[in-house]
Amino acid sequence: MAKNFSDRVGEYQQRVDARLDASLPSADVAPQRLHEAMRYAVFNGGKRVRPLLVYGAGECLGVDPDLLDAPAVAIELIHAFSLVHDDLPAMDDDDLRRGKPTVHIRYDEATAILAADALVPLAFLVVARLERASDAVRTSLVRLIADACGSVGMTGGQSIDLAAEGARLNVAELEHMYSLKTGALIHASIVSACLLCDGIDSERAAALDAFGRDIGIAFQVKDDILDIEGETDVIGKPKGSDAKLDKATWPSLFGLEASRARCDELLHGALARLDIFGADAAPLEWLARFIVERGR
């Protein structure tokens, strides 16, 4: 009998970890401290949700996993870079991430900035090396990931987030910020598999595009809920840091109950987008539920 996606999650996590390990410079190579800090930023216990979304969308579309490794690794490297910068004193000023000292605490601020900086070109190098894809597909992947992490994506969202501390945003403004800050990379994870699929039709591409947008926002609403309800030793970062910084979040603006209801609504909207794929969508259905039910 075919295994469920949940049975393959551990295999995919190990698979992307092995590819990340092979892509990152060894800590023995100079400059050693920089390379060690890059590895620390990547290998300190992340859930690998974005790579899982790449592989899950790939399964749904029947894409060869060997082609999916490059976007899975590239997007995780960009994600790791964003967390290092997010934790810096100039941003959220956090000492703990994934239950361990943040990179600037474990090393120092300058090393953390440089290590994060170096992860970004490495991500694009990984895509450039995907020789089995055509030049056109590689270019589309570069554009997708560049947009998702740049000023019209994650970085823009982070800038809006920092400017919105203490502000009373409405739902549309708040979710626009979420769709950039957190949603852009999650959406790109799904779309990267579409770019690697030979001959996806426009209806299926539109369904996955919308699915990626819905779960991207749901991911951040759940993150906000965990910041209030989670325990520091489970979520791996100080509980209540959003409130401390007077962040504009779903719970702070509209309450916990409304946030839970919104998460549920986004989940069901996202699941409905998958109807067109029938049983092939089981991996994405599992991942969408995991995103809104996760405990960390």
Report the residue from 49, 103, 137, 292 that binds ligand GRG according to the rule CB under 6 A.
49
**Block residue for tokens 């969308």:** 57
Which sign does the torsion angle of CA 151, 155, 157, 163 carry? negative
Report the residue from 38, 46, 188, 291 that binds ligand GRG according to the rule CB under 6 A.
46
Within 10 angstroms of residue 144's Cβ, the number of other Cβ atoms is: 23
Report the residue from 23, 82, 111, 179 that binds ligand GRG according to the rule CB under 6 A.
82
Distance CA 25, CA 36 (A): 9
Within 10 angstroms of residue 291's Cβ, the number of other Cβ atoms is: 25
Asked if 155 interacts with ligand GRG (CB under 6 A), we say yes
Span interacting with ligand GRG, options 23-31, 54-62, 77-85, 241-249, rule CB under 6 A: 77-85
**Minimal distance in Å, beta carbon 189 to ligand GRG?**
11
**Minimal distance in Å, beta carbon 30 to ligand GRG?**
25
**Minimal distance in Å, beta carbon 50 to ligand GRG?**
7
Report the residue from 25, 27, 96, 98 that binds ligand GRG according to the rule CB under 6 A.
98
Per the CB < 8 A criterion, the answer to whether 231 and 173 are in contact is: no
Six token digits for residue 235: 């979520």
Report the residue from 19, 39, 138, 181 that binds ligand GRG according to the rule CB under 6 A.
181
Report the residue from 20, 42, 154, 221 that binds ligand GRG according to the rule CB under 6 A.
154
Report the residue from 23, 102, 158, 179 that binds ligand GRG according to the rule CB under 6 A.
158
**Minimal distance in Å, beta carbon 181 to ligand GRG?**
5
Per the CB < 8 A criterion, the answer to whether 254 and 183 are in contact is: no
Asked if 123 interacts with ligand GRG (CB under 6 A), we say no
Asked if 182 interacts with ligand GRG (CB under 6 A), we say yes
Distance CA 18, CA 20 (A): 5
Asked if 175 interacts with ligand GRG (CB under 6 A), we say no
Six token digits for residue 247: 């962040």
Asked if 220 interacts with ligand GRG (CB under 6 A), we say yes
Six token digits for residue 279: 């049983």
Contacts by 234-238, CB closer than 8 A, 24 or more apart: 234/295, 234/296, 235/295, 235/296, 236/45, 236/96, 236/97, 236/98, 236/99, 236/100, 236/296, 237/94, 237/96, 237/97, 237/98, 237/99, 238/94, 238/95, 238/96
Report the residue from 223, 227, 242, 285 that binds ligand GRG according to the rule CB under 6 A.
223
Six token digits for residue 58: 């790939």
Asked if 241 interacts with ligand GRG (CB under 6 A), we say no
Per the CB < 8 A criterion, the answer to whether 97 and 236 are in contact is: yes
CB nearest ligand GRG: which residue?
46
Under DSSP, is residue 96 helix (H, G, I), strand (E, B) or coil?
strand
Span interacting with ligand GRG, options 13-21, 58-66, 79-87, 140-148, rule CB under 6 A: 79-87
Measured from the CB atom, is 46 or 283 closer to ligand GRG?
46
Residues that bind ligand GRG (rule: CB under 6 A) add up to a total of: 16
Measured from the CB atom, is 182 or 252 closer to ligand GRG?
182
Binding site for ligand GRG (CB under 6 A): 46-47, 49, 82-83, 85-86, 91, 98, 154-155, 158, 181-182, 220, 223
